[in-house]
Structure 1
């Protein structure tokens, strides 16, 4: 499922936070019951790139915040996200990842 995603990388105190969302979701808000998912431009809007590049970015990331069908599906395909741990709000998939180091 090729397509574009917005990616922004934050580096804070040794952590590498990757925020990625499907291109068309940027700036939208989704609600379902008590849940609210805001795909904020200031958080997600960085570089526009192909979803195929997600693997390289997830390899470096220690934390990831992923939103959208293409982005989350790719992360599942690559083994970074368990498909049973994906939250859906108004049908939009959202997943978070944190790598643990011991």
Structure 2
């Protein structure tokens, strides 16, 4: 998976995606979603690093079947809140 962290005034922003979706565009109905290098590009990491990052995140954007499945399994997002976008999945969370 590919992970990028950004410190913001609101806290840690985490973007994580599966390796194979970076640079791809997905569509579902009227929704078109591009997994851009400028937002999601970062370091290739293993599952434990993703979990550590999501644990510390204030806001997270998660794209890809593997990454979203991990986020569900570890309790970061509810499966009901996941968007199906063509051949992949997308989830977000915000801690307040």
Q: Which ranges of structure 1 fall in alignment gaps of 5 or more residues?
A: none
Q: Give 2:81's aligned residue.
A: 85
Say yes or no: does 1:99 pair with 2:80.
no
Q: TM-score, normalised by structure 2?
A: 0.95
Give me the TM-score of the superposition, normalised by structure 1.
0.89
Which ranges of 4 or more aligned residues in structure 1 deviate by more than 3 Å?
none
Is the contact between residue 51 and residue 70 of structure 1 (CA under 8 Å) also seen in structure 2?
no
1:52 offset after TM fit, Å?
Answer: 3.4
RMSD (CA atoms): 0.9
Equivalent residues, number = 96
2:42 to 46, 57, 68: 46
